[in-house]
Each structure stands twice: as C-alpha cells, then as structure tokens.
Structure 1
Amino acid sequence: NTGTWYFNEATRGLRINVMLNAGTDLDDATADTWTGSSEFITSGKQDNLIDYAGNEIYLSQFSIVKGSSAPDSFLGEPISVVKKQIAYYVERFDHTTGGSETISRAAGTTASGSGRAMIHYQPKRAIPTITTSAFGTFSFLDDQNTTRAPSGIIINHTQIDRTQHICTISGATMGAGCLIRDGSDTTWIMADARH
C-alpha cells in the first residue's frame, strides 16, 4: 500500500505473474502478503501447472486497490453494461450454434439475388464498416427448401442500427427464403464503428 503511482502507458507500475512451475527454491513467500522478488509460492508448497496438458487457468478479473484492504466485490460496471458499451463500437455476429443455422430472413428473392436486412443488437456510434467471412461460408435456402450456394455477398446499405446485404445466387425460386450458415463452416458478420 505504498510506493509510486504511474499514470501513463510508458511506465510499468505493476507486474502480475502467473507461475506455471515452481519448486523449493522459490517457496519463501507468505500467503496474502506482498513478497520479495523471485519468491512465488508459500513455504513447503510446489506449483506445477504444466505437468498435464489439460491443466487450465481461469482469471475473471484483477482489482488494483490503493490502501491496506480491498473491497469484497468488483467495483466496475455490471457485465451487461460493459457489453452494451462495447457493442456501441463493434459487434460480431458469429453463427456457430448449429449446422445450417439461420442468419437472416430474406425481404425478397428473385432468380439471381436476395436482399435482407440485419438488425444490429446495439445502435453504433457511427455508420459501421461491415466485413464478413468468405461468401463460401454462407448458403441460401429458397422458399422451396432448396439450398443454393451464393456467388457473392454485397453490402449495399448500412445505417447505425441495421445493414442491408444482397446475396447473389443463381436459379433460386422467387419468394422469401433465408441466408444460412453453410453446414458447419465458420460464418460471421461484423459491424465495426471504431473508426
């Protein structure tokens, strides 16, 4: 609870280490206290997180508190608020819950193309740039339940809260239909307003 506080990115004020492996030469630390350099675990203990490939470390959060005691709970904003703040700038729609997952319903389909609107979960700070996985990771299901491979996806209209994209296809039956994930491919659409 003493020392110098740094307020710039160029100076490292605190280093947090996760010890993967340590033996008896590094075991002179005392639990729940600051310790000297090169002492990482408490006396008489051993640390070996690399003895098995299935060992995993999960860190949920760090709290840096000035003073001799720390609060019992995290003082940041709720995760739901943080997610909305992030989505104000960038959102990535990953379609990974199942094979041939529906991405968006078509507004109108002809034999050569299909247009649809995708609503963003959170309006963006500015008109976003839209990027997608390769068009081969998408597929189109027409209103006759026939799957068609698109030859391209065109983003033709974007606002802060929605994006209209056109799927170029060949031989589809006119009607509704929908854009779907192509089998189990890695399929995504990202709206990025960080610029």
Structure 2
Amino acid sequence: MTAASEGVARPALTEGAADVGHRVRHLRERRGMSLSELARRAAVGKATLSGLEAGTRNPTLDTLQAVAAALDLPLTALVSSAPATLRGAAVQIELLRVFDDGPVTYELYRMRVPAGLAQRSAAHQAGVTEHVTVFAGMLETGPVDAPLRAGPGEHVEWTADVPHTYAALGADDVLASLLIRYPRVDH
C-alpha cells in the first residue's frame, strides 16, 4: 500500500536533519560499519545515506526506520529529541515519551493518519512489536499479509519485524497512540 498520492515520499523532519545526520554517522562509525555497508543493510541508496549524514537531505520516515533497523536501534536513537513530529507518506507521529526499561526500550507516539491515505512500512529489526490504540477513525494496520482493523477504543498489536501497513479507512482521520517495543541489542 502507498499513500493515496501514489507513494509520494515526504520528508520526515520539519527541522533537525543535520543533527540526525551527525548522529547516524557517529552510530555507524561506532559500530565499525562503512557507509556502503549501512546503505546495503538498510536498502537505502548510498547517495541518500551520504546526504543524510552530511545534513543536506531531509530523510523520509521510512528511510529513518530502515537505518535504525539496520543499526539494531530504536528510531529515537537517531532522532533523539530534535524533531517533535515525523511524517511518512501517510502517517504522522509525534514522540511523547521514551521509556528505557532494562532489556527493552519503548517509544510512545501520538499518531495521525489522514482519511483515505495509506502507507507501507519496512520491517523493523527482529523482536520489535507495535501496539496501537485507536481513539478516532477506522485503522487498518499490522502485517501486510494479515492486516488488522481497529476502531475507537480498540487496541491491536503485532510483531513488526515484517513489512506492515497503516491505512485510514472511511471518511475520518485516524487518531491513535502508537507504542513501539524494541528489545535491547548489545554491540
């Protein structure tokens, strides 16, 4: 699934791209990984990754998620507190809180999916789960091969180490909370 505008990728960050780029470079180098290796693991073009690290490219949410997964890190390890809101082709998420709880990290987001839009997201690293509670609208989400539906007051969860989707069904925007659970990976 793509956005109703047929997959138009929107920059994820409204500000802070240079800070994210420096953070990505630092984390990649700390792991002893070349730019080419990270680009290959994240399935992102080397030029795109180079521009991200230089702070000259404003990445999409999918690019940031792919890089975080390739580094075995939560998304917030890349974005920290720099941007308040991240945007994908259809999904807009606002970071509310990060919880580090020993062997796991939780990221809590406020999520909005405009009516009629959909987005397909790449797999996270092994063991990551997503938990969504819908407050308004009708959401189709979860694994691309077996999507789940939830309306106001309902909760769905799935193992997010497979490609997954978010789609606002019907005439109303979806307003929800998104909790992403990452197992800690030691390097």
**TM-score interval, smaller chain:** under 0.3
**Structure 1 length-normalised TM:** 0.24
Could you tell me the TM-score, scaled by structure 2's length? 0.25
More strand by share: 2
Select the structure that is richer in helix. Answer: 2
